């Protein structure tokens, strides 16, 4: 059974579209799952910081400084997920 050149071209285009679709899906999943952890982490962090400030208002500046530092580290994880998603999409 022989394949005509037009059929071969259509098969190649479909394969390319399938690979691109898989890349987009993988990038979306990696970013989505990579954002869940930092989102939960920042929510818990802010909750505990506000609770600590409510218990000891005099320590608010120290608590706020540590909270902002911890949020920055937590956001770094989301940035890593973004980098992985971009690598999956464009490489």
Rounded to whole angstroms, the Cα distance separating 48 from 68 reads 13
Selected from 3.10.20.740, 1.20.20.10, 3.50.50.60, 1.10.1270.20, the CATH number assigned to the domain covering 5-90 reads: 1.20.20.10
Whether 1 contacts 66, CB under 8 Å: no
pLDDT by residue for the chain (91 residues), tens only, comes to 677 888 878 888 888 888 899 999 999 999 999 999 999 999 999 999 999 999 999 999 999 999 999 999 999 999 999 999 999 999 8
Domain boundaries of the chain, sorted by first residue:
5-90
CA 58 to chain centre: 36
**3-state secondary structure at position 1:** coil
């Amino acid at each position: 059974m022989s394949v005509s050149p037009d059929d071969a071209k259509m098969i190649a285009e479909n394969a390319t579209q399938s690979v691109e679709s898989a890349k987009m899906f993988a990038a979306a999943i990696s970013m989505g799952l990579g954002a869940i952890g930092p989102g939960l982490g920042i929510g818990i962090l802010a909750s505990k910081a506000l609770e600590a400030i409510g218990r000891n208002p005099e320590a608010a500046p120290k608590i706020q400084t540590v909270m902002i530092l911890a949020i920055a580290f937590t956001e770094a994880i989301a940035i890593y997920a973004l980098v992985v998603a971009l690598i999956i999409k464009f490489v």
